[in-house]
Copies of this chain bind each other. A is one copy, B any other.
Amino acid sequence: MKVISDVTIVPIGVGVSLSKYIAACERIFKEAGLHPHLHAYGTNVEGEWDAVFAAIKRCHEVIHEMGTPRISTTIRVGTRTDRDQTINDKVKSVQQKLSRR
């Protein structure tokens, strides 16, 4: 089952500068081959369900190992059986509607 997902990880109890933790997770997504696309409030990833969620779990493990006592994460995840769709397809689909106006 293929998924397109969007992941926002919030480390708690380590102050207000969170980018080094986000970067650690970004590397995990890259090494897992999940085509991460970083944006200002999360990261898009795509791949098989198990690969995506194994990587998210690894992010929690690594960010705890970096000394973070608490993590609150929000994950959006979409699956569809009617057709294959990539991150690029989804963005293009909206952009085509925008340009057609």
Taking Cβ atoms with an 8 Å cutoff, the residues of A that contact B are 1, 4-6, 8, 10, 12-13, 15-16, 18-20, 22-23, 26-27, 37-42, 44, 46, 49-50, 53, 57, 60-61, 64, 68-82, 87-88, 90-91, 93-98, 101
Contact = CB atoms under 8 A, between A and B. Distances in A.
B15 A13 contact: yes
Grouping DSSP codes into helix (H, G, I), strand (E, B) and loop, the A interface class, with mixed when no group exceeds half, is: mixed
Number of copies: 4
A84 to B, nearest CB: 12
Given A38-B91, A73-B76, 13 more contacts: A6-B39, A6-B42, A10-B72, A12-B18, A19-B94, A40-B46, A42-B76, A50-B57, A64-B81, A69-B80, A71-B80, A74-B74, A74-B77
